Amino acid sequence: MENQEIERGRIADFLHRLNDNDIWWSFWHSPVAVLSAALALFMIFISVFASVIAPFNPFDLASLDLMDSSLPPVWQSGGDPRFLLGTDDQGRDILSTILYGSRISLLVGFVSVIFSLILGVGLGLISGYVGGRTDAIIMRIADVQLSFPAILIALLLDGVARTLLPKDVHSEIAIYVMIFAIAVSGWVQYARTVRSMVMTEKVKEYVQAGQVIGLGQFTIMWRHILPNVIGPVFVIGTLHLALAIIIEATLSFLGVGLPPTTPSLGTLIRIGNEYLFSGEWWITIFPGAALVAIALSVNLFGDWLRDAINPKLL
């Protein structure tokens, strides 16, 4: 009971802080913020309800007909009214594949960001608050981590996972591997930001006061320091979401993305890339536009949020 009270109090406190920053006012008075949020929500909506909206299920292999492949959009000569935005090299409807692909890209983005956020914030708090040897160890792990580009981590983890996990579910596993790889490669930024903020916060009076009255370390971190760093973390998270989606796309260029039978937006762009010279531009350009719509709206929103909360953040 008491805990719930405290919890509620903390949330109220957080909202109050948001209000103090005039976030809402600022939001409704920034057309860019409103538009980008609306676009982001729209993309999220259509991808969540892809199976309802999309005219076809491109992941159902039995429904594909190779003879329908590489058809142009409906307004070009040779277009087929069944396929509004044309078809790809396997005869998949581009529109449907974009919807399903966005869902996968967003899923990979969201889950990996949440994963690295939790990992990064936790380690950052500990590192900054405890300091000393613990701090050194965590920061050196961060160095090791940074020495492996995300691309390589995914490349290697992909192999490891395929060898260690049950053998016959590759398409299902691929997405978790991707999420894990991107998450693992992203936590350092959170950890470093949180650590530096904690180091500034912990010398402030209120923390010292807490220590004096005998509050436990965990309590101090959880109740007092965390709420102060949550804003910036949220900003990084938003921008990281866009980055994660782009990294996933880049990985598919290197051939370690999601399998071609269940493509993400990145995989689609990679496939379409091979048809850019042959004039079948719709296989790349439409998924590319969808990717830009998602990444740009999320980026713009994150950008606005950064300005509103703390312009000094990177």
Partner 1 sequence: MRKLSKLLSGVAIAAIMAATPAVAKDFKYAFQGDSQGLDPHGLNETFSLGLLGNVYEGLTVYDENLALVPALATEWKTISPKVWLIKLRQGVKFHNGNDFNADDVVFSFARTQTKGSDQKARGGLVTKVVKIDDHTVELHTANPLPVLMQEMAFLFMMDKEWSEANGATEAANVSDANEIGYANRNSNGTGPFMITSREPGVKTVFDRFDGHWNKDLKTNVTHVEFTPIKEAATRVAALLSHQVDMVYPVPVQDWKRLDEAEGVRALKGPEARTIFLGMDQSRDELLHSSVKGKNPFKDIRVRKAFAHALNLDAIKAKIMRGAATPSGLMVAPQINGFNAALNTPYAYDPELSKKLLAEAGYADGFTLTMDCPNNRYVNDEKICQAAASMLAKIGIKIDLLAQPKSKYFGKVLAQGGYDTSFYLLGWTPGSIDSHNVFANLLHCQDAENKMGAFNLGNYCNDRVDEITGLVGAETDQAKRQALIDEGFKIVQDEVGYLPLHQQPLSWGAGDNIELNQRADNVFDLRYVVVK
Partner 2 sequence: MISFIIKRLLQSMLVMLTVAFISFGLFRFVGDPVSNMAGQDTSIEDRQELRKSLGLDDPVYIQFFNFTINAAQGKFGQSYMLREPVRELMAKRFPATLELALVSSVIAMLLGVPMGVYTAIRRNTLLSKAFMTISLMGVSLPTFLIGILLILLFGVTLRWLPTFGRGDVVQLGWWSTGLLTASGLKAIIMPAITLGIFQMTLIMRLVRAEMMEILRTDYIKFGRARGLSNRSLYFRHALKNTLIPVITITGLQIGSIIAFALITESVFQWPGMGLLFIQAVGNADVPIMAAYLVLIAFIFVVINLIVDVLYVIVDPRLRASSEGD
Residue 64 touching partner 1 (CB under 8 A): yes
- Please state the closest distance from residue 111 (CB atom) to partner 2, in A: 20
CA-based nearest residue to 190, from 110, 121, 112: 121
Torsion of CA 42, 81, 287, 257, to 10 degrees: 110
Segment near partner 2 (CB under 8 A); pick from 4-12, 97-105, 141-149, 206-214: 141-149
Q: Which of the residues 77 through 96 are near partner 2 (CB under 8 A)?
A: none
Indicate left, alpha or beta for 78 from its phi (over 0: left) and psi (-120 to 50: alpha): left
The three-point CA angle 103-109-114 to 5° equals 125
Among 6, 15, 32, 61, binds partner 2 (CB under 8 A): 32
Exposure b/e, 249-288, CB count within 10 A at least 16 = b: bbbbeeebbbeeebbbbbbbbbbbeebeeeebbbbbbbbb
Residue 149 touching partner 2 (CB under 8 A): yes
- Please state the closest distance from residue 254 (CB atom) to partner 2, in A: 7
Residue 176 touching partner 2 (CB under 8 A): no
Evaluated on CA atoms 46, 290, 87, 176, the torsion sign reads negative
The whole-angstrom separation of Cα 101 and Cα 288 is 11
Closest to partner 2 by CB, 152 vs 215, is 152
**Helix ranges (DSSP H) in the chain:** 2-20, 23-28, 31-48, 50-53, 94-130, 132-147, 150-164, 170-201, 205-212, 217-219, 226-253, 265-273, 282-309
User: DSSP label at 41?
Assistant: H
Closest to partner 1 by CB, 110 vs 281, is 281
Binding mask 246-275 for partner 1 (x = CB under 8 A): ---------x---xxx-----------xxx
- Please state the closest distance from residue 243 (CB atom) to partner 2, in A: 8
Among 68, 80, 89, 303, binds partner 2 (CB under 8 A): 303
- Please state the closest distance from residue 280 (CB atom) to partner 2, in A: 14
| Contact partner at residue 81 from partner 2, partner 1, none, CB < 5 to 8 Å by partner kind | none
Contact between residue 177 and residue 154 where contact means Cβ atoms under 8 Å apart: yes
Strand partners for 87: 93
- Please state the closest distance from residue 168 (CB atom) to partner 1, in A: 5
The whole-angstrom separation of Cα 300 and Cα 296 is 6
Residue 179 touching partner 2 (CB under 8 A): no
Q: Which of the residues 256 through 275 are near partner 2 (CB under 8 A)?
A: 266, 269-270, 273
Binding mask 106-135 for partner 2 (x = CB under 8 A): -------------------------xxx--
Q: Which residues bind partner 1 (CB under 8 A)?
A: 60-62, 64, 66-67, 69-70, 89-91, 159, 167-171, 255, 259-261, 273-280
